[in-house]
Structure 1
């Protein structure tokens, strides 16, 4: 391999590595926009002890939850892959950007 080709290969590898590091650190959505969208979530997920009174069932914590999990869960509710009537009704009106924004906000706050 010539020095020029080796130099080009090293530059390409460095650029690819830098891009992957930057992408990992880049925000995945807009946390401020996500915060504005989660106001209805507290009606169930904000109940002390994570229990909903009517009917009485466990409600998972969402504050501090993993970003990728939140995106996958909301997308699955939106498409009907996860069956929960209330969550389906909430999620089907969300765009993919809304879901990313919500996940960014919720994953950025501490677990409650």
Structure 2
């Protein structure tokens, strides 16, 4: 059975809300368009569409929103360390982080068979 991404995302956010507070709370929807606009500063290392331009930078396109939110919050708090990412994430609000994560997750990755 195939599920749609928006439905799956809503269910994951609902489960997270239950798991963290014991009761369901409304979670503000992230803004993909705002994330796209905010991603300009990320493009230097991670490419204009989330495909890294530097060998040491990971591709962000198509990554899980949940993973990206956690990673950015960990960089912001210093739990995860990388000089550049700690500096960049330190200036992001929670809404910025959620918007960026939603944008990068929304980028569809297309894999081509060799020879095509």
Q: Give TM-score, length-normalised by structure 2.
A: 0.65
Alignment partner, residue 43 of structure 2: 42
Misfit runs of 4+, over 4 Å: none
SS at match of 2:39: helix
Is 1:94–2:92 an aligned residue pair? yes
Tell me which protein shows more strand as a share of its residues: 1
Q: Number of matched residues?
A: 88
Tell me which protein shows more helix as a share of its residues: 1
Unaligned segments of structure 2, at least 5 residues:
1-6, 14-27, 111-116
> Do the aligned partners of residues 105 and 83 (structure 1) sit closer, same or farther apart at CA in structure 2, a change above 3 Å counting?
same
Deviation string 1:20-78 (CA, Å, 9 cap, x unpaired) is 9894288840101111110111111118x8463xxxx5211101100000000000000
Deviation string 1:57-109 (CA, Å, 9 cap, x unpaired) is 52111011000000000000000011101001110111111111111111001
Alignment partner, residue 11 of structure 2: 24
Q: What is the RMSD computed on CA atoms of the aligned residues?
A: 2.9
The structure whose RCO (Cα within 8 Å, separation 6+) is larger is: 1
Q: Give TM-score, length-normalised by structure 1.
A: 0.67
SS at match of 1:58: coil
Distance 2:61 2:75 in 1: 18
Which structure's CA Rg is the greater one?
A: 1
